[in-house]
């Protein structure tokens, strides 16, 4: 059995677009007719350029190779162009293709992917979700409203979730770390207070920042929110500044989580050395399922846990589920519940009472609705997500729209 054909679909979730402006789905077919699906997460180049990269990676490193030879194909891609170092775009392309290989292998053997990764360690996966606006909420006002956030948190807990994530401390700028405005620190503390009052001890608070602060700014923010006992302080400083991450980890009792913007075990091992104890690989970027398994093993040895990240479509989510099912040091997985997410995989994996049961069907355990994906093409020019050029405003309020597309 050899990898033979590649198809790529760039699909755009309907408004409000939770999960990003578009998702890059890849479909591989072998010379024996077995198909597998993967997803490439959040490329730093546009979808047209990324499509060309994906095709090049497939043609150069994978076509004509057995889908079993994942380690070999990884080393080819990792070493491409005489590099042998993490390359975000190349590894993003490879990650989605690698996920598709596991889908093929599971289908060929009539077994779910988790069964090929050491078996099922976890029958029921604890899940968390971002706080999203409820139908009665005005979306633009939601992101700066502790009261609305508390209502959304209360709704999630009523549905069985035991952890909720939020990130009220904008802005997210291209300028690197900044010192947060006092108004942002105050708003963040009020968010934590309102949400904690709403959920009590029924749910953990997950505080996100998307790498926007200097070490001193992050430590000030941590001090302000610590009284509300968040479970983690996510990506408090820029993702590649390991010394800064280490400084924050030493200065706060809140566990530091990070990893959604990193790729391969090399970068994740640096996080562990910096004191991060909750790793958040996004499997459509981090190197795929097998690399995710290695990252989880590194974390296990270091006494750390993993919480696979998701701000993409349901194919990456399915990959996360299978890794999580086979991982002893799992903390939880991220979910996004929208009709489009569910319909795209024909309801193959669902959230029940805030938890996910790993599928028993072969491969990833999902069936892709190709017609639905193709009838929602991405026609814009913006990237999957973006950051603003304007700096932090220390006079007027700063606002972050929660990842909702603005165009």
Give residue 141's Cα distance to chain centre. Answer: 25
Name the class of domain 116-364: alpha beta
Q: According to the model, what pLDDT value does residue 267 have?
A: 98
- Sorted by sequence, the CB contacts under 8 Å of residue 138 that are 6+ apart come out as none
Q: According to the model, what pLDDT value does residue 171 have?
A: 87
Per-residue pLDDT of the chain (407 residues; tens, 9 = 90+): 999 999 999 999 998 889 999 999 999 999 999 999 999 997 799 999 999 999 999 999 999 999 999 999 999 999 999 999 999 999 999 999 999 999 999 999 999 999 999 999 999 999 999 999 999 999 889 999 999 999 999 999 999 999 999 999 978 889 889 999 999 999 999 999 999 999 999 999 999 999 999 999 999 999 999 999 999 999 999 999 999 999 999 999 999 999 999 999 999 999 999 999 999 999 999 999 999 999 999 999 999 999 999 999 999 999 999 999 999 999 999 999 999 999 999 999 999 999 999 999 999 999 999 999 999 999 999 999 888 888 998 998 887 765 555 55
- Specify the DSSP element, H or E, that contains 207: strand 204-208
Q: According to the model, what pLDDT value does residue 407 have?
A: 52
Domain ranges for the chain: 116-364
Q: According to the model, what pLDDT value does residue 241 have?
A: 96
- Sorted by sequence, the CB contacts under 8 Å of residue 73 that are 6+ apart come out as 61, 62, 65, 94, 98, 101
Q: According to the model, what pLDDT value does residue 400 have?
A: 72
Separation CA 203–CA 196 (nearest Å): 8
Q: Tokens 């430590």, residue?
A: 219
Give the pairing of strands 35-40 and 125-130: unpaired
Q: Tokens 């920042």, residue?
A: 209
Contact between 260 and 309 (Cβ < 8 Å): yes
Q: According to the model, what pLDDT value does residue 176 have?
A: 85
- Angstrom CA distances, 385 to 107, 285, 311, stand at 33, 14, 10
Separation CA 326–CA 300 (nearest Å): 13
Phi/psi at 402 (nearest 5 deg)? 65, 25
Gyration radius of the chain's alpha carbons: 20
What is the model's pTM?
0.97
Give the SS3 label for residue 355: strand
Give the SS3 label for residue 28: strand
Separation CA 135–CA 388 (nearest Å): 27
Separation CA 206–CA 258 (nearest Å): 12
Give the SS3 label for residue 334: strand
């Amino acid at each position: 059995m050899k990898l033979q054909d590649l198809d790529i679909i760039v699909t755009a979730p309907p408004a409000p677009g939770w999960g990003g402006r578009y998702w890059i789905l890849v479909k591989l077919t072998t010379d024996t007719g077995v198909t597998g699906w993967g997803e490439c997460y959040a490329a730093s180049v546009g979808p047209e350029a990324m499509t060309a990269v994906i095709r090049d990676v497939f043609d150069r490193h994978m076509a004509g190779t057995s889908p079993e030879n994942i380690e070999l194909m990884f080393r080819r891609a990792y070493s491409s162009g005489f590099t042998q170092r993490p390359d975000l775009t190349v590894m993003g392309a490879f990650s989605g293709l690698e996920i598709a290989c596991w889908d093929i292998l599971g289908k060929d053997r009539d077994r779910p992917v988790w069964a090929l990764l050491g078996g099922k360690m976890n029958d029921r996966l604890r899940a968390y979700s971002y706080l999203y606006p409820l139908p009665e909420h005005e979306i633009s006002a939601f992101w700066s409203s502790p009261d609305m956030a508390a209502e959304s948190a209360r709704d999630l807990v009523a549905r069985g979730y035991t952890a909720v994530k939020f990130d009220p401390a904008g802005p997210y700028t291209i300028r690197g770390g900044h010192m947060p405005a006092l108004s942002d620190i105050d708003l963040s503390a009020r968010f934590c207070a309102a949400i904690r009052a709403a959920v009590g001890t029924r749910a953990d608070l997950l505080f996100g920042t998307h790498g926007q602060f200097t070490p001193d700014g992050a430590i000030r923010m941590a001090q302000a929110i610590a009284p509300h006992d968040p479970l983690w302080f996510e990506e408090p400083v820029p993702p590649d500044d390991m010394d800064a991450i280490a400084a924050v980890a030493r200065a706060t009792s809140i566990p530091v989580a990070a990893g959604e913007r990193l790729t391969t075990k090399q970068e994740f091992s640096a996080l562990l050395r910096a004191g991060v104890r909750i790793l958040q690989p996004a499997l459509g970027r981090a190197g795929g399922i097998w690399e995710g398994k290695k990252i989880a093993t590194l974390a296990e040895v270091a006494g750390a846990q993993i919480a696979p990240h998701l701000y993409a479509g349901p194919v990456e989510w399915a990959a996360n589920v299978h890794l999580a099912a086979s991982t002893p040091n799992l903390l939880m997985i991220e979910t996004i519940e929208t009709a489009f997410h569910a319909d795209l995989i024909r309801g193959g994996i669902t959230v029940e009472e805030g938890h996910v049961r790993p599928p028993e069907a072969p491969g990833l355990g999902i069936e892709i609705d190709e017609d639905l994906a193709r009838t929602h093409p991405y026609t814009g020019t913006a990237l999957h997500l973006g950051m603003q050029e304007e700096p932090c405003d220390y006079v007027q309020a700063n606002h972050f729209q929660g990842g909702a597309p603005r165009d």
